[in-house]
Chains A and B, each alone.
Chain A
Amino acid sequence: MDKCPNIVRYIHEYLDGDISREHELELKAHLANCEKCQQHMHELNKVTAFIQSASHITAPSGFVKGVNARMPKETSRAGMKR
């Protein structure tokens, strides 16, 4: 894999959906013959799946109230220009 630095770059371009047709063809041809790069790509795919498995969280109840409590007072609008 140390001999395939461009390929690792292409793998990342591919993962970003940002790869040119040329690079994609080169990547595919290379992957067919290089187990190390295949493995590298597999591991990066696992990383993406892992991160995306994080559950969607929501703001705690009382969040909006908390913001309102921290707002500058209506009477002293020092910071707010209009």
Chain B
Amino acid sequence: MDALVNKRIKEVLKGDQNAFTEIVELYQDKLYRVCYRMLGNKHEAEDIAQEAFVRAFINIHTFDTNRKFSTWLYRIGTNLCIDRIRKKKPDYFLDAEVAGTESLNMYSQVASKEELPEDVVLKMEMQERVQYEITRLPDKYRAVIVLKYMEDLPLQEISEILEMPLGTVKTRIHRGREALRKQLSKM
């Protein structure tokens, strides 16, 4: 896949914007999934993942084709997600997904730090519950847990994506797992 992507990147650099569309098609699911897992909201995930692709396009000349494209793309996406999480206003969701009927709305409308009553949590479907618990994690643990357990990425690649030393990635995964263990102890 990397050889194909590098070929398309060269075409983009020569001015062929359609070649970039092909790159978007190849990576849309991966990037959307990471954004969704980090943000816990479909509307926001789509917005941020699309923004990440636009930024990748604008900055494509800075990509080093000797590296893995997905690592670079994930870095742009996770940085945008982390920014969004930090800047998030508590009322953002209230008007963001009013029309939606997704089962996730109920809890994506509350700030992630806020805990739901235990009986509400226990009644959640498994899939909802997984996302709810991830969204409750502090953002510095959330990124590593999503990349390791949902994208199944090697620790070394996570360290490159998040631009942090391997040791820090390991510590955060350990702490993230312990945090989840405490969160799930009521199960």
A1 to chain B, nearest CB (A): 12
State the CA gap A63–B31 with chains docked (Å): 11
B58 touches A79 (CB 8 A): yes
Chain B positions within 8 Å of A12 at CB level = 170, 173-174, 177
A71 touches B130 (CB 8 A): no
Which of these, A46, A52, A71, A80, contacts B184 with CB under 8 Å? A46
- Interface stretch, picked from B48-56, B75-83, B105-113, is B48-56
Q: Mark A61-72, 1 if CB is under 8 A from B, else 0.
A: 001101110111
- Interface stretch, picked from B21-29, B66-74, B91-99, is B21-29
A64 touches B170 (CB 8 A): no
Q: Mark B32-53, 1 if CB is under 8 A from A, else 0.
A: 1100110000100010011101
State the CA gap A64–B14 with chains docked (Å): 21
Give how many B residues have a beta carbon under 8 Å from the other chain's beta carbons.
45
Q: Does B61 contact A (CB under 8 A)?
A: yes
Chain A positions within 8 Å of B24 at CB level = 63-64, 67-68
B66 to chain A, nearest CB (A): 19
Q: Mark A40-82, 1 if CB is under 8 A from B, else 0.
A: 1001101110111111111110011011101110100001111
Chain A positions within 8 Å of B173 at CB level = 12, 16
Which of these, A48, A56, A68, A82, contacts B61 with CB under 8 Å? A82
Chain B positions within 8 Å of A44 at CB level = 177-178, 181
Which of these, A15, A52, A70, contacts B177 with CB under 8 Å? A15
Chain B positions within 8 Å of A48 at CB level = 149, 177
Q: A16-B170, A43-B185, A70-B50 are in contact. Are A51 and B180 (CB under 8 A)?
A: yes
Q: Does A18 contact B (CB under 8 A)?
A: yes
B184 touches A59 (CB 8 A): no
B57 touches A71 (CB 8 A): yes
A82 touches B15 (CB 8 A): yes
Extra contacts besides A47-B177, A50-B180, A59-B31 (4): CB < 8 Å: A12-B170, A18-B170, A44-B178, A53-B126
Q: Which residues of A contact B (CB under 8 A)?
A: 9, 12, 15-16, 18, 40, 43-44, 46-48, 50-60, 63-64, 66-68, 70-72, 74, 79-82
- Subset of 15 A-B contacts with CB under 8 Å: A44-B181, A47-B181, A53-B126, A54-B130, A59-B28, A60-B42, A60-B46, A63-B24, A63-B28, A68-B21, A70-B50, A71-B57, A72-B54, A80-B57, A82-B13
